[in-house]
Amino acid sequence: MGWPVATAGHISLRNGFLKPAEPRKVATTLWGLRTFHAARGGEAGESPGMGQGSASRTRILVRRATPFAAIAAIFAVQTLADPQPVLAFPLYLAVVLLVSLQQDIAESLAVAGAAAVAGLVAPLAAGDQTSDLATAIVLGAVLAGVALGTSTLSRRARARASEMHRRLDELADAEQQLRTTLESAGVGLALADLDGRFTQVNPALAAILGRGRDELTGMSAVEVTAEQDRPAVAGAVALIRRGDVARWEGQVTQQRPDGVAVPVALFMAKLPGSAGAPALLIQASDATDSRRADALRDCAAAVRGIIAASPGLEPAMPGLLAAFRENLGWHKGHYSSSRAEALTAGDELAARVWQAGLLAAEVDTGRSAVAFPVIDTGEVVGVIELSSPAMKRVADDEASMLSRAGVEIGQFIRRAETAQALRRSEADHRAIFERSPIGIARVGGDGELLEANPSLLQMLEHDADSMRTGAWPDMMRAYDQAAARLGKSTFLAGVTDGNSVQVRAATGAGTWLWMQMTATSIPDSTGRPEHVLVMVEDVTAVRETSDKLAEALEAQRAAIANLEKLDTTKSEFLSIVSHEFRTALTGIQGFSELIRDGGLEPDEVRAYGGYIFNDADRVNRLIGDMLDLDRMESGRMTMRAADVDINDILMEAIARASTATVTVEFKSDLDPRLPIVAGDRDRLIQVVSNLVNNAVKYSPEGGTVTLTSRVEGKYALISVTDTGIGIPPEEIGHVFERFRRVRSGAAQSIPGTGLGLTIVKQIVEMHGGRIWVESAVGHGSSFHFTMPLAPEGAAALQLRHG
Amino acid sequence: MAESPNGAAKFTVLVADDNEVAQRLCKRVLEKAGYGVLIAADGLQAVDIALAQKPSMILMDVAMPGIDGLEAMRRIKTEVPAMPIVIASAHSMASDRERFLAAGADNVLSKPFRLADLISIVEQLAHAGSM
């Protein structure tokens, strides 16, 4: 059967487990086991007289000489007693037989020969009948034959016996070896009866169970098992006893008397006993190391599993701590995520680990703990502490596994944080994209719309499809045109910055909006623009407001410019007016002073009085003109509408001017059909006399002033023409402006208020007429004005009645 | 040039003014005070007379037809830098006075003026010239 060999075959024996002195001792103590050796087939004692090297040479010689001595004795007796040879023969035969049974063929034949010779000697000596001799010869031959045959037979028998001995010896050696092996085996072995009571226990098993071999003998395999595994072991023993199973294997925990629980791989098998009573072979190997290795592996795998499945450290930590606790047999696990936490918890071990960044363990009878750092890129970010109320050492492999786990968890924290940040960022961006009130478009490198957010679609009143195929390409074109106008890079040329342009875009409903488009390119990992984000804002209201503002601003600017011009004009006006007044006053004041101081001739006094009067009159006119103009311009001028004969006014003007002026000739060409018109007579006289005075003033000596009137459609056309110096072309557009005359060098010698033509124009226009001038330098000027003729025209007069 | 009663060359004033009333007033007052008076009715005349007859000083109006008094003064001063010229103008604001002095006027007389002021200005120059 060879059971020990078969069993030992799958148990790994540990080197150096047994002390070198033990084998001999084991061999002697286990001697008794032979009884149970099934293959042995019985007792194999040492045969006496078979010891090859133990007989002395003397004894061999004695043994060999003895048969010959016996034959000689028989011969002597035969000779002396003279018996019949036949009588001596059985004696000879007996000797030969004995020798041939024990000795080899040569010795047997020698003895037989000697006996035959002894048998022959007597007949030969007696000289008896030949019959006796013949009988003696026959007997001798028989002796030789017997010797030969018996010797051969006995040699074979001895050879067989010798072979048997050799085999038995070999068997004994093998058993010896086996026992030594078993005694020195690291695996625990025992024999027990079918109730599981140990009968034989090897030292290894005794060591595993923490009891003496003697103590164990008689104890039950169930008894040494930890409480929780006892039913399993008892059940197994029962099964084997009943023959339901031939063998049983299992992982159980054995309970040592010192309280330490030892994990054990248990194997039990039924053996046929030597006396027909079967026995139980029990094999137990200490699985502490292999189980710890398994546990470490399981723990590491569990940690990795949790890390892989968890979104972050917080949800993962309870599972991680549980994995450490359950796989490694710790009672409690705690994670400190900050040094402060470790310190405030009064946890010196954790604080030390924070400090050192290395795993540390404390072993005490009351409490054992191990703490290891969670390391993220070289920095301690947390400490995991495992503790147990029992004494528990941390083996090197466990320590290194925990350290590795700390690093893995650290990397996991980093990954989880990164992933969390990514998720948050992604969620933020998605929310911005979806909820932003600003339209956002994700656009590919070719300008095609990849995605438009709800705001954009809503803003432009398009669905995603019509947006992509219709509205967006239009907007892209508008964008490029607008960008090109602004000298910015076009969309397709590659947007790199926050280019912002405003474009007009049609909504799906057909209204037009102003859209502000701001493009920002988003680079891929190589920095190449991957796609472009375009923010689209409806700036229609802003734009319209700003357009209106711009218009208003422009108007304002113009108004300000006007005001400034007015201001300048006013300053100039004041400057001119004061100059005019002071010039007039110079004469008045100077001559008055002369008169006052007295001592003048009466003629002088008269003349000076004339100068004073003229200048005073001029001052008066100036004031009157200014007030008139101001009233006309401010709309406060009062005119009295009445029937007016224009020809009459013209004639009077000529008459007046002729009296005052002798150097100029007056002509008139008046249309007698000219009807009476409605107007303010005094003002119209003012107009005509102004024009006539002007004409006179600018006419050289001997010049002609011509007054004409005629009907021209619905208007009376009146002209005053002189043959004077004329008005330069650059001045002709300004003749009706205030004080223009004064600013114009050529006519400065002509006295006047500089307000006459301005007043004339105002009066004509207030009557619903028009005034203009034609002139050629050196040839003279013609001033024309019209007056409406029709009653309806008169009604249209812009005259103001009191 | 007329001789003064004491035989020295008479101090002559050129009055350049387009306003006849002003011309007459100045002429009457200055002659009465014993000065010689020349009359110019515009800027060009003033320049011509000033250069031709070398008056002792010029009383120059500004707003005159043709070239104005300031331009006339510039031309005269170019030829005769030492010629005393008093600007007599109805442009009587403070800024005008500065403007005229900056343009080279020796003195400024604002119109309308008191007769004593006219005489005083001329007298100053007459004294300065005789010393």
Lowest model confidence (mean pLDDT) among A35-44, A364-373, A380-389, A396-405: A35-44
Q: Which residue of B has its CA nearest to A579?
A: B90
- Residue B31 confidence (pLDDT) above 90: yes
Name every residue in B having a CB less than 8 A away from some CB of A. 18-19, 21-22, 24-25, 28-29, 41-42, 63-66, 68, 90-93, 110-115
Same domain, A650 and A773: yes
> What's the burial of A34, exposed, middle or buried (CB within 10 Å: 0-12/13-18/19+)?
middle
The CA distances from residue A42 to A68, A164, A193, A275, A561, in Å, are 40, 13, 22, 11, 143
| Residue range A478-483: mean pLDDT, rounded | 84
| Of the partner residues A579, A585, A589, the one whose CB lies closest to the CB of residue B91 | A579
What is the domain count for chain A? Answer: 6
Asked which of A118, A145, A179 is the last residue of a domain, the reply is A179
> What angle, 0 to 180 degrees and rounded to 10, lies between the N-to-C axes of helices A396-435 and A313-328?
160
Contacts of B29 in chain A (CB under 8 A): 590, 594
* Residue A291 identity: R
Asked which of A179, A199, A228 is the last residue of a domain, the reply is A179
User: Is the Cβ pair B92, A578 closer than 8 Å?
Assistant: yes
In a domain, A11, yes or no: no
User: Best of A575, A579, A739 to disrupt the B interface by mutation (most B CBs within 10 Å)?
Assistant: A579
Residue B130: which pLDDT band, with cuts at 50, 70 and 90?
low
- Residue A291 confidence (pLDDT) above 70: yes
Same domain, A770 and A680: yes
Tell me if A92 sits within 8 A of A141, measured CB to CB.
Answer: no
- Residue A631 confidence (pLDDT) above 80: yes
Same domain, A224 and A318: no
CATH of the domain at A522: 3.30.450.20
Same domain, A326 and A245: no
In a domain, A339, yes or no: yes
Domain regions of chain B by residue span: 12-114
Using DSSP, how many helices (H) and how many strands (E) does chain A show?
Answer: 25, 21
How many Cβ atoms from other residues are within 10 Å of residue A323's Cβ? Answer: 22
- Quick one: what percent of chain B has pLDDT higher than 90? 73
| Of the partner residues B41, B65, B112, the one whose CB lies closest to the CB of residue A586 | B112
Q: Which two tokens stand for residue A546?
A: 């700003």
Of the CATH numbers 3.40.50.2300, 3.40.50.1370, 3.90.100.10, 3.40.50.980, which one belongs to the domain with range B12-114? 3.40.50.2300
- Residue A525 confidence (pLDDT) above 90: no
Contacts of A742 in chain B (CB under 8 A): 63
Residue A92: which pLDDT band, with cuts at 50, 70 and 90?
confident
From the list B23, B7, B10, B1, the residue with the least C-alpha distance to B129 is: B10
Cα within 13 Å of Cα(A458), Cβ side: 11
Highest averaged pLDDT of the listed ranges A39-53, A363-377, A786-800: A363-377
Residue A10: which pLDDT band, with cuts at 50, 70 and 90?
very low
User: Is the Cβ pair A575, B19 closer than 8 Å?
Assistant: no
Same domain, A277 and A312: no
CA–CA distance, A38 with A381 (Å, rounded to integer): 67
Cα within 13 Å of Cα(A84), Cβ side: 8
From the list A574, A614, A607, A596, the residue with the least C-alpha distance to B114 is: A596
* Residue A207 identity: A
Same domain, A356 and A390: yes
CATH of the domain at A335: 3.30.450.40
DSSP state, residue A197: B
In a domain, A41, yes or no: no
- Residue A796 confidence (pLDDT) above 60: no
User: Is the Cβ pair A586, B22 closer than 8 Å?
Assistant: yes
More confident residue, A64 or B73: B73
| Structure confidence by residue, pLDDT tens digits, A709-739 | 999 888 999 999 999 888 888 878 888 887 6
From the list A754, A734, A761, A739, the residue with the least C-alpha distance to A632 is: A761
In a domain, A509, yes or no: yes
In a domain, A19, yes or no: no
| Of the partner residues B19, B66, B115, the one whose CB lies closest to the CB of residue A593 | B115
Same domain, A762 and A646: yes
Output the pLDDT for position A696.
Answer: 87
Asked which of A286, A319, A338 is the last residue of a domain, the reply is A286
Same domain, A490 and A545: no
CA–CA distance, A71 with A88 (Å, rounded to integer): 10
Q: Which residue of B has its CA nearest to A575?
A: B91
Query: Residue A645 belongs to what domain range?
Result: 637-795
Residue A313: which pLDDT band, with cuts at 50, 70 and 90?
confident
| Residue range A116-133: mean pLDDT, rounded | 70
Residue A376: enclosing H or E segment and its boundaries? strand A368-376
CB contacts < 8 A (A, B): 74
* Closest chain B C-alpha to A716 CA, distance in angstroms: 37
Name, in order, each residue with C-beta under 8 angstroms of B67's C-beta and a sequence gap of 6 or more: B42, B43, B44, B47, B75
Contacts of A589 in chain B (CB under 8 A): 112-114
In a domain, A39, yes or no: no
In a domain, A800, yes or no: no
In a domain, A20, yes or no: no
Output the pLDDT for position A275.
Answer: 56
Give the ipTM of the model, two decimals please.
0.90
| Of the partner residues B21, B66, B114, the one whose CB lies closest to the CB of residue A593 | B114
CA–CA distance, A13 with A240 (Å, rounded to integer): 26
Highest averaged pLDDT of the listed ranges A4-13, A39-48, A314-323, A359-368: A314-323
